[in-house]
Amino acid sequence: MNNIIYVGRNMTTFTCKQHFHEEWELVYCTGGQGRFEFEDSTIEYNSGDLVIIPPHVVHANNSDEGFTNIHINITDATFNFKEPLLISDDAEQHIMGSFKDAFYFFNSDINSRQPIMAAFGDLIANYVTAFSNTKPLRDVVDEIKSNIMQNFTDCDYELDTYLRTIPFSYDYLRKLFKSEMGMTPHSYLTNLRIHMAEKLLCSPDTVEQNISEIAYICGYSDSLYFSRVFKKNFGCSPKNYAAMHSAGA
């Protein structure tokens, strides 16, 4: 059980083309950040995150700034989930330590490495089980989500200020939210605002409103910044987006 059949690492890399494995793949990000793209979902990750990918799941790994990682392939894994999963390492980076040790011994000439690798396979599988099942702050994630939903249309809403009122580490809250929601609190806030803007731009009831008014309704006091964020998400300006959908109506 939990047999490690390969341990490798990527130095600074920007893309891994779409592929799949016959066995489980565990990818620990040791530096940078990126995103795993699956057929119907995306997982964004940062340094200190571990992404677990089940067998036969087609995926690609892309990064704008580059990533480094250690990746392990395991057969007969004892995991009890069927979808890709992201978990974050703890402050002491126990998972990263086990990945680095597994890489060293797998690629060494030590004669007795087989029992060592078997032990690492079980250790890493136990880490995955423990970290994925331990959600001590799940109520806090729900609280953050609710607070964002209640305030995302407010131009004066300061998400960072709110997060720092919660009596836990800012970085830990960010990673916990991402592990459960698949995105950071700031990305969640942006998604709510931008998708509300999209609906307004496509609605005949708001066609007479200018871009500044729509930006304000969606929580942006700066219409130029709103336009940049919108274009980044939809590939064109809000004005052009509204014109295209008006022409197709």
Specify whether 240 is located in the same domain as 171: yes
Among candidate residues 133, 162, 184, the one where a domain is terminated: 133
- What digits encode the pLDDT tens for the residues 86-110? 998 888 889 999 999 999 999 998 8
What is residue 37's predicted lDDT score, i.e. its pLDDT?
95
Specify whether 126 is located in the same domain as 144: no
Task: Give the residue-averaged pLDDT of 223-236.
Answer: 90
Specify whether 216 is located in the same domain as 111: no
Q: Which two tokens stand for residue 44?
A: 């964004």
Specify whether 104 is located in the same domain as 155: no
What is residue 205's predicted lDDT score, i.e. its pLDDT?
61
**Confidence label for 84 from pLDDT (cuts 50, 70 and 90):** very high
Specify whether 97 is located in the same domain as 160: no
Specify whether 174 is located in the same domain as 198: yes
Among candidate residues 133, 163, 192, the one where a domain is terminated: 133
**What is the number of domains present in the chain?**
2
What is residue 248's predicted lDDT score, i.e. its pLDDT?
52
**Confidence label for 134 from pLDDT (cuts 50, 70 and 90):** very low
Residue 139 has pLDDT above 80, yes or no: no
Of all residues in the chain, what percent carry a pLDDT higher than 90? 54
Task: Give the residue-averaged pLDDT of 61-66.
Answer: 94
Specify whether 24 is located in the same domain as 111: yes
Specify whether 151 is located in the same domain as 67: no
Q: Which burial class, exposed, middle or buried, applies to 25 when counting CB atoms under 10 A from its CB (0-12, 13-18, 19+)?
A: buried
Residue 26: give its domain's CATH number. 2.60.120.280
Specify whether 96 is located in the same domain as 203: no
What is residue 211's predicted lDDT score, i.e. its pLDDT?
86
Specify whether 124 is located in the same domain as 176: no
Residue 202: give its domain's CATH number. 1.10.10.60
Residue 186 has pLDDT above 90, yes or no: yes
**Confidence label for 136 from pLDDT (cuts 50, 70 and 90):** very low
Work out the mean pLDDT of the chain and round it to a whole number: 88
- What digits encode the pLDDT tens for the residues 156-180? 999 999 999 988 888 888 888 887 7
What is the span of the domain harbouring residue 96?
3-133
What is residue 168's predicted lDDT score, i.e. its pLDDT?
80
Among candidate residues 68, 102, 133, the one where a domain is terminated: 133
**Confidence label for 209 from pLDDT (cuts 50, 70 and 90):** low
**Confidence label for 67 from pLDDT (cuts 50, 70 and 90):** very high
What is residue 111's predicted lDDT score, i.e. its pLDDT?
78
Specify whether 44 is located in the same domain as 110: yes
Specify whether 148 is located in the same domain as 205: yes
Put simply, whether the predicted model's pTM sits higher than 0.85 gets the answer no
